[in-house]
Amino acid sequence: MKRVCLFVVAIALFLAGCGGSGGSSSTKGGHVNIVLWHGYTGVEATAMNTLTREFNATHHNITVTAQFYGNSDYALQKVLAAIAGGKPPDISYLYGSWAANIATNPSTVNLSPYLSELGWNDFWLAERHVATVNGKVVGIPALVDNLALVYNKRLFAQAHLAPPTANWTWSDFENAAIKLTNASTKQFGWAYVNDASEDTVWRYWALLWQAGGSILTPDGKHAAFDSPAGLSALTFLQTLAAHNAIYLDNGSGNYLGLFTSGHIGMLYTGPWDLSSIAQGNQPYGVQILPADLNHQTISGPDNWVVFNNGSAQVKGAVEFLNWFTSPAIDLKWSLMTGDLPIRASVTKLPGYANYVKKYPGIGVWVRNLNNATQSRPVTTTYPKVSTVIGQMVQSVLLGKAQPQQALSQAGQQVNGILAAPS
């Protein structure tokens, strides 16, 4: 499942009521009914239903009802509408990029008092960063991913190139991308989503961090990407584009079919593409991202957010999430879905070897979570910042602007966004 969301720039707090039943209530005898909203389809929906049935069968004081709320891209609006109507779910899956938006709502439960029982430090660092807003934990990690390098072994062999290693630099990557490019056969060394969306942006952030840069200043009040590191990242992209070594995807996802048909040598992608890559007829390998200073990647964690429908409901919701995100159950989930484990300790469980064997290459993405040491700013203004950066990167890749020109202009625009009253 692709983890880059369609950001909501303006969110109305009072929307027309949404479909489905929100809220829950205690019943006699101390029994609690918990309503959980999710946007899962396919194997994830099956896994959700299987595990909630298992929970209900073993926890007789709580009944969890999992409800499909539709497209996850519009979940925040639906949740806010339900809150405005007085019937929010007890638990909802929300993109991590919405943490700052939902944190300001008085119905959102501060989960900080429950961190000890949840084993908070066992969750990956990037997950904890995204779930925390101004010192308050507003979500329990629901999903985590990251970007790694996927490469076509056959094309590498044909180009007489050694496979990528964990020590690859940007120069190694650049040289390989150029050698893998063949205009006569419409073959590209690399692919980059260039529709100016967050899909464009978060690949750039990984390059920025690898060069030693930051997105914003520590106080979050000024742009920090307009820096030598930011320039290095943009110049890196410009150089490869000038060699016609990048297939510029327009957001349609065509890069995936081109990779599996042998027309693209390398991708920066996540585990959401693994099933399609594995079903193709191209032998593939997975490696961490190349870099000179460090091998940082970017992660896109999502959250389970709890809403206050009374103390009994909150207690029941936390009890369910404590069980659902426990290492043993999380491993079950990963085995069923192919999603990365949300806890580091899962990698120590005996069954983890079966997971890695079932999904070839997945172990690199799991280990790569140790390289996800920074996260996108958890702020309500981030969608606007993302729009500026997407346009900046797109302009350079299309040859419409020089890196320093585009970077300076974007820095000025972001500073204006950050200075505007919230």
Place of tokens 């496979």: 163
Tokens coding 302:
């999502």
What average pLDDT score do residues 305-320 get?
Answer: 98
Residue 18 confidence (pLDDT): 39
**SS3 letters for the chain?**
CCCCCCCCCCCCCCCCCCCCCCCCCECHHHCEEEEEEECCCHHHHHHHHHHHHHHHHHCCCEEEEEEECCCHHHHHHHHHHHHHCCCCCCEEEEEHHHHHHHHCCCCECCCHHHHHHHCHHHECHHHHHHHEECCEECCEEEECCCCEEEEEHHHHHHCCCCCCCCCCCHHHHHHHHHHCCEHHHCEEEEEEECCCCHHHHHHHHHHHHHCCCCCECCCCCCECCCCHHHHHHHHHHHHHHHCCCEEEECCCCHHHHHHHCCCEEEEEECHHHHHHHHHCCCCEEEECCCCCCCCCCCCCCEEEEEECCCHHHHHHHHHHHHHHCCHHHHHHHHHHHCCCCCEHHHHHCCCHHHHHHHCCCHHHHHHHHHHCCCCCCCCCCHHHHHHHHHHHHHHHHCCCCCHHHHHHHHHHHHHHHHHCCC
Query: Which residues lie closer than 8 Å to 238 by C-beta, 6 or more apart?
Result: 396, 397, 402, 403
What average pLDDT score do residues 264-289 get?
Answer: 96
Q: Radius of gyration of the chain from Cα atoms?
A: 22
The partner residues of 397 in beta bridges, in order of sequence, read none
pLDDT band at 6 (very low <50, low <70, confident <90, very high): very low
Tokens coding 380:
């309500």
Which range (69-73, 203-207, 236-240, 286-290) has the least confidence? Answer: 69-73
Give residue limits of the domains in the chain. Answer: 28-145+300-371, 148-298+381-419
Instruction: List strands edge to edge, sheet with 140-143.
Output: 62-68, 32-38, 91-95, 302-306, 140-143
Rounded distance, CA 110 to CA 271, Å? Answer: 30
Tokens coding 86:
């007085």
The partner residues of 108 in beta bridges, in order of sequence, read 307
CA distances from 182 to 187, 190, 244, 245, 262 (A): 5, 12, 9, 8, 12
Residue 421 confidence (pLDDT): 87
| CB-neighbour burial class of residue 13 (10 A; exposed 0-12, middle 13-18, buried 19+) | exposed
What average pLDDT score do residues 106-132 get?
Answer: 97
pLDDT band at 38 (very low <50, low <70, confident <90, very high): very high
Mean pLDDT for the chain overall: 93
Residues 202-230 have pLDDT tens digits of 999 999 999 999 999 999 999 999 999 99
Indicate whether 119 pLDDT > 60.
yes
What average pLDDT score do residues 340-350 get?
Answer: 98
Amino acid at 43: V
Indicate whether 26 pLDDT > 80.
no
What average pLDDT score do residues 320-340 get?
Answer: 98
Residue 30 confidence (pLDDT): 85
CATH architecture of 28-145+300-371: 3-Layer(aba) Sandwich (3.40)
Q: Are 192 and 213 in contact (CB under 8 A)?
A: no
Indicate whether 181 pLDDT > 70.
yes
Rounded distance, CA 102 to CA 84, Å? Answer: 13
Residue 16 confidence (pLDDT): 34
Which range (15-19, 156-160, 407-411) has the least confidence? Answer: 15-19
Residue 22 confidence (pLDDT): 58
Indicate whether 366 pLDDT > 60.
yes
Portion of the chain with pLDDT greater than 70, in percent: 93
Indicate whether 1 pLDDT > 60.
no
What average pLDDT score do residues 191-205 get?
Answer: 97
Rounded distance, CA 352 to CA 154, Å? Answer: 29
Q: Are 114 and 311 in contact (CB under 8 A)?
A: no
The partner residues of 92 in beta bridges, in order of sequence, read 37, 305
Is the full-model pTM beyond 0.75? Answer: yes
CB atoms within 10 A of CB 417: 15
What average pLDDT score do residues 396-420 get?
Answer: 98
What average pLDDT score do residues 258-275 get?
Answer: 96
What is the fold of 148-298+381-419? D-Maltodextrin-Binding Protein; domain 2 (3.40.190)
Rounded distance, CA 411 to CA 421, Å? Answer: 18
